[in-house]
Amino acid sequence: MKKVIIILDRAHGEGVAGKESLDGKFKEWQASQSTIEKLSKGLEKLGIPCAVTVEETTEPGFNERVKRANEAGDGYEVPVFISLHHNAHDRIFKARGSEIYVSRRTATKESKEIANIIAENLIKDFPEMPWRKEWPDRLEREANFAVLVGTDKVKPAYHGVLVEFGFMSNEEDLKLLKSKSFMKRYAESLLYAITQICAHFGAGNFTPEIRVK
């Protein structure tokens, strides 16, 4: 059995209401797609097995996302599922910062370890982006997002986390999210975190000199 696979889950899809900045210029699904493309290239270069749950521009639905992720993870000891989102609040425009989620109650030990590695890197690499905690002593939050807990039809066979990187509804965060160099750094930080995740599960040692093109 092969060791680790990184399954990247894009946020939403074309035409899904409310998943963009107020000015309509920053679209969550496009930003997520762009980060996933950068990450996929980086992972390929490093020889880390990688899959994506959404190839089409539209929203495939939660059953389909979980099903595809389960299929991608089949045959791997540690299927790592990372869903990449950007947050929005339709009333509280002051809300800003980043979060990472694991499923409430049903989270695996591994998913919490994955969440912590990603959180530590994002906190270290982005002092300009506040980190939002649910508990003072834990970096990860919990929520029952469908891709983390599954649906009535299909349950995840992977260790899932969901990142909400910045608020599209907050002026300060949006300025950062609209910056190409900022988003490139974001992909670099995630890629580095993934190499640490692989090392954590004993799937190879990777050099720290990692660049995303």
* Positions in the binding site for Zn ion (CB under 5 A): 11, 85
| Nearer residue to Zn ion within complex by CB, 85 or 112 | 85
Minimal distance, residue 148 CB to Zn ion, in Å: 13
| Nearer residue to Zn ion within complex by CB, 23 or 209 | 23
Q: In what order do the strands lie in the sheet with 50-52?
A: 50-52, 2-10, 76-87, 159-167, 99-102, 141-142
Residue number with the smallest Cβ distance to Zn ion: 85
Minimal distance, residue 32 CB to Zn ion, in Å: 8
Minimal distance, residue 18 CB to Zn ion, in Å: 9
| Nearer residue to Zn ion within complex by CB, 69 or 78 | 69
Spatial distance between the Cα atoms of 188 and 60, rounded to a whole number of angstroms: 27
Residues in the chain: 213
Spatial distance between the Cα atoms of 189 and 181, rounded to a whole number of angstroms: 12
Minimal distance, residue 156 CB to Zn ion, in Å: 18
Minimal distance, residue 62 CB to Zn ion, in Å: 12
| Nearer residue to Zn ion within complex by CB, 48 or 141 | 141
| Nearer residue to Zn ion within complex by CB, 65 or 85 | 85
